[in-house]
Amino acid sequence: MASPRGITLYHSPASRAFTAYWMLEEVGVPFDVKTVDIRKGEQKAPEYLKLNPAGKVPTLRDGEVVVSENPAIAIYLADRYSYGRLAPKIEDPERGEYLKWMVYATAVVDPVAFLHSKEIDVSGFSAGFGTFDDMVEVLSALLMERKHLLGDRFTAADVVLGATVSVLLHRQVLPEVAALVDYNGRLTARPAYQRAADATWPSSLMHPA
């Protein structure tokens, strides 16, 4: 494992920054947290925009390296600090599927679930991410046969996609299909998940688990 260079997570309560926080807890390296409260508009402060011009959380700084977007943060952390454990190695045949689910979380699950929550369902031919029902079927069929996305092996892909599944189940956007509920139960039982949830959803806010 590479030695930490001084990691800071720019994080906001009750936000998608939970995913990056959970990832850091799974990796097990020391890190500092700086709160950027999106409810107060702090993500648009000039100093923060220098780190993340999109004005969103999370952002991760590791020495001189700055990374934003949850999948990118997870891939970076897993490759640098947990290569071969949370990240399949380049020569590992499972590396391709691992990357697929990393991308699937934000390229398919997030947009199609958001539209569905607004009662907007588009055809699979008119949107690259396909239909809501297809997405649910893909995940349900996979997780009916597997403990995690790659089988018995827990990886950073489970953090990225699993965090999304967890929040969508809590918000009742995803149907309570047994395979998804059971998968979520396995994830929420992880100590790293629980520490990240406690840090992201304090008692005064809604908890996704």
Quote the pTM value: 0.92
Same domain, yes or no: 130 and 45: no
Q: How far apart are CA 25 and CA 134, in angstroms?
A: 32
Q: What's the pLDDT score for residue 147?
A: 98
The residue behind tokens 């992880």 is 190
C-alpha 205/C-alpha 54 separation (Å) is: 25
Q: Can you give the pLDDT at residue 202?
A: 72
User: Among 17-26, 115-124, 186-195, whose mean pLDDT is lowest?
Assistant: 115-124
Q: Do 82 and 138 lie in a common domain?
A: no
Percent of the chain with pLDDT over 70: 93
User: Among residues 128, 109, 125, which one has the least CA distance to residue 117?
Assistant: 109
> Does any domain span residue 163?
yes
In this prediction, residue 205 carries a pLDDT of: 47
161 pLDDT more than 90: yes
Q: Tell which wins on pLDDT, 127 or 23.
A: 23
Does residue 136 share a domain with residue 114? yes
Cα(176)–Cα(192) distance, rounded to whole angstroms? 24
Judge if 186 and 140 occupy the same domain.
yes
What integer is the mean pLDDT of 9-22?
Answer: 96
What was the pLDDT predicted at 9?
98
Residues 114 and 167 in one domain: yes
Q: What is the pLDDT of residues 77-101, one digit of tens each?
A: 999 999 999 999 999 999 999 999 9
- DSSP codes, 99-145: HHHHHHIIIIIHHHHHHHHTT----TTTSTT--HHHHHHHHHHHHHH
Q: Is it the case that residue 49 has pLDDT exceeding 60?
A: yes
124 and 183 within one domain: yes
How many whole angstroms separate alpha carbon 202 and alpha carbon 18?
Answer: 12
- Domain limits for position 174: 95-193
Q: Are residues 171 and 102 both part of a single domain? A: yes
Beta strand pairing call for 7-11 and 65-68: unpaired
Confidence of residue 152 (pLDDT cuts 50, 70, 90): very high
Report the percent of the chain where pLDDT is more than 90: 87
Taking residue 159's Cβ as centre, other Cβ atoms within 10 Å add up to 34
Specify if 110 maps to a domain. Answer: yes
Residue 28 sits in a domain whose CATH number is 3.40.30.10
- Total domain count, the chain: 2
Q: At 123, is the pLDDT very low, low, confident or very high (cuts 50, 70, 90)?
A: confident
